[in-house]
Amino acid sequence: MTPEFVLKLGWAAGKVLGNHGRRRVLIGKDTRVSGYMFESALESGFSAAGVDVRLLGPMPTPAIAYLTRTLRASAGVVISASHNPYYDNGVKFFSAHGEKLPDSIEDEIQAMLDCPLEVIDNRKLGKAERIDDAPGRYIEFCKSTVPIGMSLAGLRVVVDCAHGATYQVAPKVFAELGAEVQVIGASPDGFNINEGVGSTHPETLREAVLKAGADLGVAFDGDGDRVVMVDAQGAIRDGDELLYVIASGRIQQGYPGGVVGTLMSNLGLERAIEALGRPFVRAKVGDRYVHEALKREQWLLGGESSGHLLCLDRHTTGDGIVAALQVLAEMARQGRSLDDLLRSMDILPQTLINVRIEQPVSLEDPVIGEAVRAAEAQLAGRGRVLLRPSGTEPLIRVMVEGESADQVREVAEGLAAAVRMHAAA
């Protein structure tokens, strides 16, 4: 991604939004050093198309979705590569309703990128200004997603901000709700986002929780839309487990719908939700697909094992802080610890191996198909096998789960070896 491309993207998006009568956008970013460069390029592109810009600075991705709605903007734009290293970056859009842009609008923007960039008349150029109170607005929103009387007083919480977009707001949310907060991963320098901290490296949080004798640890990713927790015993709790806590609590309180997971969701989550008398549906991997499935089923709760959780009764998109607060609210409602709330859910052993490939590999290939069938035969109907290409890296993800950890690891390693051998042939 280059400044030239981002400039053109801002202009193309501005032209399309302008054609729909929309003339104001919000721009937020995470803490990557390239964010400064791309923010300026986007601002220039939108201005050239006659669209006004409101700059939010470093803010979590779900905060931009929320503020886009409440500030009545035409769209929200986030400059972030989420959980990836600092040298990656990307751009994502939210609609005026705080949801992903409709495919039809994205298609129009794509088509406009092929047109020559023409600057609007100087008298109609878009203007830009900063919104200084954006963090405070979002903090109040997060707090509003839990019962008004809920207090975290007496709870010691370690908050890991991944040196990312939550560093300004997450510690304040938990502290203002009464928790005693210890903060790690909140010193961004433009280069250390996600580096050894955050939801992709929960072992750092685990060490901090055990050292502090804390009741709980909460880790976000670089842009704040994912969350992973660590309980008081040091056990790392992923998105599947957190989704179960939220869903089981909602079901106890009368939630009539089901839950959406993904192809990577642990079989233990599916069994636990069905044991509560609710259906469980798997979507393709990716929050967009989880959201689409929730809309289709007219349900409210879904998510990924990575910690990207959607509570559509609280927010329009996945939000790490909001999801964490829903777990804490359930702990407070029942007066139980996180590990206690999870005693009724059995996570099956799961092994995930990333096989790096030099060129595209078809998963429909007969050789790979035979390797998958052999792996499934070993599990004898007591587990799952899944192969899928990564959407962001040259990898084939090999996932195996079942009732025996040793067997799962053996099957996964054998299958990964078969994929690696075929990819090298």
Do 315 and 62 form a contact (C-beta atoms < 8 A)?
yes
> For residue 134, what pLDDT band results from cuts at 50, 70 and 90?
very high
235 vs 7: CA distance, rounded Å: 45
Q: What is the pLDDT of residues 19-57, one digit of tens each?
A: 876 689 999 999 999 999 999 999 999 999 999 999 999
Q: What is the pLDDT of residues 168-226, one digit of tens each?
A: 999 999 999 999 999 999 999 999 999 999 999 999 999 999 999 999 999 999 999 99
Domains and CATH numbers, the chain: 3-131 (3.40.120.10), 138-341 (3.40.120.10), 350-424 (3.30.310.50)
Q: What is the pLDDT of residues 343-394, one digit of tens each?
A: 999 999 999 999 988 877 788 888 888 999 999 999 988 899 999 888 777 8
Query: Annotated catalytic, 305?
Result: no
What is the identity of the amino acid at 194? N
Q: Count helices and strands (H / E) in the chain.
A: 14, 17
16 vs 22: CA distance, rounded Å: 9
**Is pLDDT at 166 greater than 80 in this prediction?**
yes
For residue 194, give both structure tokens. Answer: 């996600």
Q: End-to-end CA distance of the chain, in Å?
A: 32
330 vs 205: CA distance, rounded Å: 22
228 vs 343: CA distance, rounded Å: 18
Q: What is the pLDDT of residues 71-83, one digit of tens each?
A: 999 999 999 999 9
Query: What global pTM score does this model have?
Result: 0.92
Q: Cβ neighbours of residue 78 under 8 Å, at least 6 residues apart?
A: 27, 28, 29, 30, 61, 64, 91, 92, 93, 94, 223
Which one from 74, 82, 95, 305 is the annotated catalytic residue?
82
258 vs 290: CA distance, rounded Å: 12
